[in-house]
Amino acid sequence: MKIIRIIPVFAAVTLLSCGEEPAEEETQNPFEELTEVLEDLNDDLSEIDGVQEIYTITSGSAGDFNLGEAIPISSDEFEVKEEIETFESEEGPYEETVYNVSAENEELLQLSPAYDYETGEYLDEIGEINIFSDRFQTAEGIGAGSSLNDFMETYSDYKIWYTYVSDMYVIETEDLDIQFIIDGEGYKGDYPEITGDMVELSKEDFEDDTKIISVRMYKI
């Protein structure tokens, strides 16, 4: 689902009011007509320089990228580049094929293929999505670049935790099956006492201006 920052309601109303009154047998539902005009104007706006589209994040999807679906190839809208990257784990470093998605020289997100534990092989479908751009946001406007305070004000059921396995600080909400990765530079407490894979933290453990640096979702 794609959303444009500018919603030209006034332009749409003006266009509707300027048209001739249709014959009775051709009368169209005014709400349907308004929707069609808005969609056409939004399509035109998306082609104007300086106007960026905002893509919606939901549990399992980021815009048109969906967990479990085939890894896409480059299109007119996005460039998808296959690369080999090195990651750290408890067992040590390992290499993995990833697909970096960009648009207009801006890195937007990274796709990782799903892994079949029965066959020990990677699949040609999306198993994990990591979002780095603020052009991808939840319906409430939260994404990479949002402040920790904005998240907590938006989702009152938030939970903050740290994991030593991947050395990540995470904030979550029960409304979404998504991990919002916190900038570790904003952590002002002592190194968390390791009592398990996940150590619960509080908002007082972070500086007021701490931000979310990426958004992660993965197929279980």
pLDDT the model gives residue 88: 75
- Confidence at 76, pLDDT banded by 50, 70, 90: confident
Residue 161 has pLDDT above 80, yes or no: yes
Separation between Cα atoms, residue 48 and residue 53, nearest integer Å: 11
Residue 12 has pLDDT above 60, yes or no: no
Q: Is the dihedral of CA 44, 49, 52, 53 positive or negative?
A: positive
Q: Is the dihedral of CA 146, 161, 132, 6 positive or negative?
A: negative
> What pLDDT digit, counting tens, does each position of 85-134 carry?
988 777 778 889 999 999 988 999 999 999 999 999 999 999 999 999 99
pLDDT the model gives residue 160: 97
Phi and psi based region of residue 26 (left: phi greater than 0; alpha: psi -120 to 50; beta: remaining):
alpha
Lowest mean pLDDT among 24-28, 119-123, 166-170: 24-28
Give the pair of three-digit tokens for residue 163.
């994991």
**Alpha carbon 22 to chain centroid, angstroms:** 43
Give the pair of three-digit tokens for residue 110.
């990274």
List phi, psi (to 5°) of 21.
Answer: -70, 125
Alpha carbon separation from 44 to 14, 35, 49, 50 (Å, rounded)? 16, 14, 11, 13
Radius of gyration, alpha carbons of the chain = 22
Using DSSP, state whether 101 is helix, strand or coil.
strand
DSSP for 117-146, written as a single string: TTTTEEEEEEEEEEE--TTEE-TTS--TT-
Residue 182 pairs in a beta bridge with: 169, 212
> What pLDDT digit, counting tens, does each position of 33-68 carry?
655 665 565 566 555 555 678 999 999 999 999 999
Instruction: Determine the average pLDDT of the residues in 185-190.
Output: 90
Separation between Cα atoms, residue 87 and residue 124, nearest integer Å: 20
pLDDT the model gives residue 40: 64
- Confidence at 14, pLDDT banded by 50, 70, 90: very low
Residue 213 has pLDDT above 70, yes or no: yes
Residue where the block lists tokens 């080999």: 84
